[in-house]
Amino acid sequence: MILELENVHAHYGKSHVLQGVSLRVNDGELVTLLGRNGAGKTTTLKTIVGVVPPTQGNVNFCKNAINGQPAHLIAKRGICLVPEHRGIFKLLTVEENLLLGQRKRSPWQLADVYRIFPRLQERRKNGGGQLSGGEQQMLSIGRALMNDPKLLMLDEPVEGLAPVIVEEIVAQLHTIKAAGVAILLVEQNLEVCTQLASRHYILEQGSIVYCADNATFLADTEVKDRYLGVGLV
């Protein structure tokens, strides 16, 4: 098991945002964290990486407790978060953005990222601000890979993207997963989630209310309607 949250609570001021979240991600597994807007999904990711310190409970990574550690030390252990707004540097070129995340001992170097994301190689001299939304997302994922993640966390990576670009990113995530990188995915697009994940968690008002494997989740229309407000064809 690469990641385990045990009864994690977190607050923003007096707001009790996470209320006893427990979940796990196994080595090489892709797991989704689902829920309506405001359920606490992004806060869960921020708590794992140390941006929002947990007020109770344990965050264990590779069987070591990491709660309370500064964010840069948690990142150094091998947890990478690709945030919802991508966080690329628009005045730097694609290649300069990628090299910012480079670790010399990482198995993911420029050639590897360009192999998975050929669009980035085509645009390697372009500024980050000249890229489309989908290309910026690919750049953000590619930069995270160059930091040698053991666990890659993605916050709504396909939100607002054209279907053809979504298909590309799904294929790229399959490749990354096949290379042995564990992935924790927050995403609203259920079709994407069920194509990629082996297990799903649903978060509702700061608590985990559901966990199931992909086949069970696909068949459970009632749960999708109740907690996510959508059906899945």
pTM of the predicted model, to two decimals?
0.95
Only one residue has tokens 């892709």, namely 30
SS3 228: helix
Residue 214 tokens, joined: 């992909």
The pLDDT assigned to 57 comes to: 97
Which residues have C-beta within 8 Å of that of residue 195, sequence separation ≥ 6? 170
Residues written for the chain: 233
The pLDDT assigned to 233 comes to: 44
The pLDDT assigned to 165 comes to: 94
CA-to-CA separations, 20 to 66, 112, 197, 209, 227, in angstroms, rounded: 17, 39, 23, 11, 18
The pLDDT assigned to 86 comes to: 87
Domain 1-78+151-156+182-233 falls under CATH 3.30.2310.20: no
pLDDT by residue (tens digit) across 29-84?
999 999 999 999 999 999 999 999 999 999 999 999 999 899 999 999 999 999 99
Residue 148 tokens, joined: 């040698």
pLDDT beyond 80 at 112: yes
Other C-beta atoms closer than 10 Å to the C-beta of 113 total 25
Average pLDDT, the chain: 95
Q: Looking at residue 92, what DSSP letter applies?
A: S
Residue 122 tokens, joined: 């085509």
